[in-house]
Amino acid sequence: MENVISRELLDRVIAISVQAGEAILEVYNASGELEVDTKSDDSPVTAADLAAHRILLPALEQLIEGVPVLSEEGKLPPFEVRSQWNRYWIIDPLDGTKEFIRRNGEFTVNVALIENGEPVLGVVHVPVLDITYAGARSLGAIKRDAGGEKTIGVRAMQPRLDSSQPIEVVASRSHGAGAVDELLARIEGSLGETGLKNMGSSLKLCLVAEGAADLYPRLALTCEWDTAAAQAVVEAAGGIVVDEQFALLRYNQKDALLNPFFYVIGDPSYDWKSLLLG
């Protein structure tokens, strides 16, 4: 498979994601009550989800010839078709629809390129904050905001432990709270003080990628389009995303698009496995 990863490709995906974010903001900032429909799986969908999808789908289809796009808001091909895809785009046009409906700003545009089950390029754009996290294999990870662009990376655990700084854990605002509380108690018993940040969408993974948090345990269900883009950013920043057996999270390996429970780890050199699975 030829290498298609380049800074030019990453920049084009960023531009497309920002455009989708602008379409989301048009709905978000409009006056009047927000209309919310319910999909067959009981998840909410709004005009903003669909507006972003309509921008992302044709734009990504034109980026790399012959590479299909799998979108949360599109038609899901059967696994016998998807299993033949060595390379494809996977997108969540609006990750955090519930946060969007609550108008708390914690929602993102997620775009990832998958090669042989591995997320190799990802863009996570935060429309309300106009912040973009992006990364790709061999290119590293970046964050763009009003102050410009900077390289980001995960942070090491040992200096924090040596100086008795709290271990920062980030968790979902809505899912898996009880299991996370138990895990926090175990971490505190072993490492001392922890800090907990709650927020929605794939922003949680990005906090680990930029070195603002050490661990994100996801002990509740997610779909592959929820995590692929941010996982690519985390891995480009030096972190890992692993399942409960500490195998790297992979994509398009089965009929269902549900992820297993997983851990986003900033410093892979630290023995998190013994702590989390002990």
**Count of CA atoms in the C-beta half-sphere (13 A) of 45:** 16
32-60: per-residue pLDDT in tens? Answer: 777 788 877 767 888 999 999 999 999 99
99-129: per-residue pLDDT in tens? Answer: 888 888 999 999 999 999 999 999 999 999 9
The whole-number pLDDT of residue 200 equals 80
* Residue 72 labelled as part of a binding site: yes
The whole-number pLDDT of residue 46 equals 85
175, pLDDT greater than 60: no
Question: What is the pLDDT of the chain when averaged over all its residues?
Answer: 93
Q: Fill in the amino acid letter for 119.
A: P
- Token duo for residue 226: 């929820």
The whole-number pLDDT of residue 37 equals 82
The residues, ordered by sequence, that sit 6+ positions from 257 with a Cβ below 8 Å of its Cβ are 76, 223, 224, 225
250-276: per-residue pLDDT in tens? Answer: 999 999 999 999 999 999 999 999 999
180-228: per-residue pLDDT in tens? Answer: 888 888 999 999 999 999 888 899 999 999 999 999 999 989 999 999 9
* Residue 94 labelled as part of a binding site: yes
> Candidates 3.40.50.410, 3.90.1150.10, 3.30.70.20, 3.30.540.10; correct CATH number of 7-152?
3.30.540.10
Q: Where are the domains of the chain?
A: 7-152, 158-277
Q: Give buried/exposed letters for 244-268 (b at 16+ CB in 10 A, else e).
A: eeeeebbbbeeeebebeebbbbbbe
* Residue 214 labelled as part of a binding site: no
Asked if CATH classification 3.40.190.80 holds for the domain at 158-277, the reply, yes or no, is yes
Is the distance from CB of 121 to CB of 113 less than 8 angstroms?
Answer: yes
Choice among 11-20, 84-93, 144-153, 192-201 with the minimum mean pLDDT: 192-201
- Token duo for residue 94: 């609006």
* Residue 41 labelled as part of a binding site: no
Length of the chain: 278
The whole-number pLDDT of residue 176 equals 54
- Token duo for residue 129: 């904050």
The whole-number pLDDT of residue 134 equals 98
Q: For residue 29, count other CB atoms closer than 10 A to its CB.
A: 10
The residues, ordered by sequence, that sit 6+ positions from 75 with a Cβ below 8 Å of its Cβ are none
* Residue 226 labelled as part of a binding site: yes
